[in-house]
Chain A
Amino acid sequence: MNRIDETFQKKKKLLSIYFSAGHPELEDTFPILCALQDSGVDMVEIGLPFSDPLADGPTIQKSSTRALLNGMTTEKLFDQLQNIRDSIHIPLVLMGYFNPIMQFGIKRFCEKCLSIGIDGLIIPDLPVDIYHQKYKPLFDQYNLYNMFLITPQTPEERIRYIDSLSSGFIYMVSSASVTGVQNTFGNTQEDYFKRIAQMKLNTPQVVGFGISNAETYRAATRFSSGAIIGSAFIQFIEKKGVSAIPDFIKSIR
């Protein structure tokens, strides 16, 4: 069974963390993953840095640029992850833009993921329609889950369509924004979270974008199966260092 499904069976509310691979330092990938697992995080999204991350706000733009300057590449990340399953047992998801994956070779990318033990992919600029028309059989062949995004503006019919093609979870973007926009979740978000919960989708939903502390984590997970923290975590390790990761996780839940 895919580790993502397994985790949802065991736990009601997941805490997932996103970080840019190669940031703050090139070789931080392994220590960050260990610290997150030891602190009780349920799932991790490892960000493949890209020169032009157009769905991301300033924090992830900066961490991606820094990672690239540090020398991070797709090849390098796979090297770092080669034996990761000797020590990390929680679900690992790679999140990256489509162009670097295309250049690596999509088939070769999938083979690598399979051999390492990556559970799924989030490719924000590979829309569900094009995935469906052109790439689904390839990803299926390697048993890689593809997670798609929905937003408050996504029409109901399209949410149903996305649900029908989703595995793992649906990535619920909390508001119409790029990543890292500070939010307090008000009535608008709560209505949106409730509306989606009432749709009784087949795929669990995990909320991301704008979650930065215990309060927003609680609000996001009241009606969903989990929440993802990215920019706030990246800012934290930039300031406090990788060794302080347990403090961050404790402050969330």
Chain B
Amino acid sequence: MGRARPGSAATSLLAATTLALSGCGPAGGSEDGDTVRVGMLHSLSGTMAISEVTVRDSVQLAIDEINDDGGVLGRQIEPIEEDGASDEATFAEKAQKLLQSDDVATVFGGWTSASRKAMLPVFERNNGLLWYPVQYEGLEASDNIVYTGATTNQQIVPALDYLVEQGHESLYLIGSDYVFPRTANQIITAYAEANDLEIIEEEYTPLGHTEYSTITGEIEREEPDAVFNTLNGDSNVSFFQQLRSAGVTPDDTPVLSVSVAEQEIDGIGVENIEGHPVAWNYYQTTETPANEDFVSAFQDAYGEDRVTSDPMQSAYNAVYLWAAAVEEAESFEVDDVRAALDGIERDAPEGPITIDGDTQHLAKTSRVGEVNEDGLIDQVWSSEEPIEPDPYLTGYDWADDITEVEEGE
């Protein structure tokens, strides 16, 4: 199992216990071989719980469906659930527990970039496999993570293309102060320089900030053609409310959001955000046969009033993609599963998706939608075909400055 042999007598005691616990046989297998253990690691408490619980529900749904269908390689999936508690250290600790003590075959988990960054070294040094379901800031490609959400060239760049197509010439950038908005805005700024877009202002507020009257006032005064919104969480509620009070309408100044999905619209209030555009790869209204099944299965399981969103759908896909890779590899071992990832396809609720083995990201279709009066999102634009993932934006000349970072790992 590639574990280093203990060298000194002092460590032999410890090593004996670890070796005994690490066990032999296939990863994640229980003694009787009827089940395969997988980890589910999301925040069930703390500020992120409201979002992450929906993703957990989708993972559970996919596991139940696969189990009802006979399982994976004839084994039932046995999820082991842990609470990341909206705290990076807890994510690292629980990931370690799942990999070392529970010996799971794979883990579905994470939402924030910070939680992913915290788990990454744990997965790399234990050679685990993490399925991360949320769109993120790109510039990463670990062998031990499969990214089933969008990277920047499948969400932010197409959204900018859409805004330019609509004839917008100036942008106001507003974001929460953390890595995703800051990286996103760097990309946006580089794109703007190459495409003659004017960036009027770039503003950051702390996570959880609720006082936006200064910023909405400035938006009203400066009259940008559009606002690019990378605020996260509760801040969106205050921002959109105060924006509407300031009299800014989607017709004057559309606010394009990349972190507001169906799940968040209810909290913001439909009347505050109706008509504003959002960019994702999937909406509850996306018209594919797989989506009809997904939405009805989800609502059957969790209630008619529940909505489905992009991260939920990506998490749901992740379980099926992992199962397909396991079947393809005929093994639960991480190295075998990884080798089988390239080219795994699926007709997902968001349409056709394919795993790119080099980056372990998905090729997926990009979509821009508008919030309608029911609090759902109507698609108004989509890419013609699935976009190949390009987490380091190597295919875009204007992004050279941002992405000279190491390539190819």
Q: Do A and B come from one complex?
A: no
Could you tell me which A residues sit within 8 Å of B by CB distance? Answer: none
Could you tell me which B residues sit within 8 Å of A by CB distance? Answer: none
